Structure 1
Amino acid sequence: MHKFAGMLLPAFCVLAVASNAEAQEAVIKIGHVAPMSGGQAHLGKDNEAGAKLAIEDLNKAGITIGGKKAKFVLVSEDDGADPRQGTAVAQKLVDAKVVGVVGHLNSGTSIPASKIYYDAGIPQISPSSTAPKYTQQGFNTTFRVVANDSQLGARLGQYAVSQLKAKKVAVIDDRTAYGQGVADEFSKAAKAAGAAIVATQFTTDKATEFSAILTAVKSAAPDVVFYGGMDAQAGPLLRQMKQLGINAKLMGGDGICTEGLVNLAGDGMADGQVICAEAGGVTGEEEKGMEAFRADFKKRTGGEVQLYAPYVYDAVMVLADSIKKAGSAEPDRYLPYLAKADYKGVTGRISFDSKGDIKNGSLTLYSYKAGKRERIAVVK
Structure 2
Amino acid sequence: MKKQAVVAVALSLAGVASAQEVVKIAHVGATTGPVAYFGKDTENGARMAVEALNARGPVIGGKKVRFELVAEDDAGDPKQATAVAHRLVDAKVNAVVGHQTSGTTIPASKIYHSAGIPQISHSSTSPKYTEQGFNTTFRVVSNDKQLGRALGRYAVKQMGVRRIAVVDDRTAYGQGLATEFARGLKEQGGGADVVAKEFTHDKATDFNAILTKIKASKPDLIFFGGMNAVAGPMLRQMKQLGINARMMGGDGICSDEIAKLSGGAMADGQVVCAEAGGVETAGKPALDKFKADYRKRFGIDVQINAPYAYDAVMTIADAMAKAGSTAPAKYLPELAKIRYKGVTGPVAFDAKGDIRDGTLTLYTFKGGRRTMLAVTR
TM-score past 0.5 threshold? yes
Counterpart among 306, 313, 317 of residue 314 in structure 2 = 317
Max Rg structure: 1
Structure 1 residue 66: deviation in Å?
Answer: 2.4
Check the 8 A contact 2:17/2:64 in 1, yes or no.
no
Aligned twin of 1:49: 44
State the one-letter code of the partner of 1:126: S
> Of the candidates 324, 329, 333, which is equivalent to residue 326 of structure 2?
329
What is the aligned counterpart of 1:218 among 215, 220, 232?
215
Following superposition, the deviation at residue 23 of structure 1 comes to: 5.7
CA-CA distance at 1:63 after TM superposition: 1.1
CA RMSD across the alignment: 1.2
**Partner Cα separation in structure 1 for residue 64 and residue 259 of structure 2:** 45
CA contact (8 A) 1:140 1:356 kept: yes
The aligned residue for residue 275 of structure 2 is: 278
Amino acid at match of 1:119: S
Give yes or no for contact 1:62–1:70 (8 Å, CA) kept in 2: yes
Q: Aligned equivalents of 1:186 and 1:45: distance in 2?
A: 28
AA aligned opposite 1:115: K
Whether the aligned pair in 2 keeps the contact of 1:191 and 1:197 (CA below 8 Å) is: no
Paired residues of 1:259 and 1:372 also in contact (CA < 8 A): yes
1:39 partnered with 2:34: yes
1:1-380 matches, cutoff 5 A: 24-193=19-188, 194=190, 195-380=192-377
* Displacement after TM superposition at 1:266 (Å): 2.2
Cα deviation code 1:237-258 (max 9, x no counterpart): 1111111111111000011001
SS of the equivalent of 1:321 reads helix
**Deviation at residue 22 of structure 1 after TM alignment:** 10
Q: For residues 56 and 315 of structure 2, what CA distance do their matches in structure 1 show?
A: 15
- Secondary structure in 2 aligned to 1:313? helix
Alpha-carbon separation, structure 2, partners of 1:250 and 1:191? 19
Conserved 8 A contact 2:247-2:270:
yes
- SS at 1:267 equivalent: coil
Q: What letter is aligned with 2:168? A: D
Instruction: Structure 1: state its 5+ residue gaps.
Output: 1-20
Note if contact 1:161-1:190 (Cα within 8 Å) is conserved in structure 2. Answer: yes
SS in 1 for 2:264: helix
Between the two proteins, the alignment pairs up a number of residues equal to 360
Counterpart code for 1:32: H
Name which of structure 1's ranges 346-355 and 260-269 shifts more when overlaid on structure 2: 260-269
The whole-number CA distance in structure 1 between the counterparts of 2:33 and 2:24 is 26
Q: CA deviation at 1:165?
A: 1.1
Q: Which has the higher contact order (CA 8 A, sep 6+)?
A: 2
Identity %: 60
AA matched with 1:225: I
Distance 1:191 1:245, change over 3 A: farther
Aligned equivalents of 1:246 and 1:238: distance in 2? 9
C-alpha distance in 2 between matches for 1:121 and 1:163: 45
Separation (CA, whole Å) in 1 of partners of 2:92 and 2:100: 21
1:187-230, Cα deviation, whole Å (9 max, x unpaired) = 12123322111111111111111111111111111011000001
Q: Is contact 1:224-1:250 (8 Å) kept? A: yes
Equivalent position amino acid for 1:148 in 2: N
What is the TM-score when the length of structure 2 is the normalising length? 0.94
Unaligned 5+ runs, structure 2:
1-15
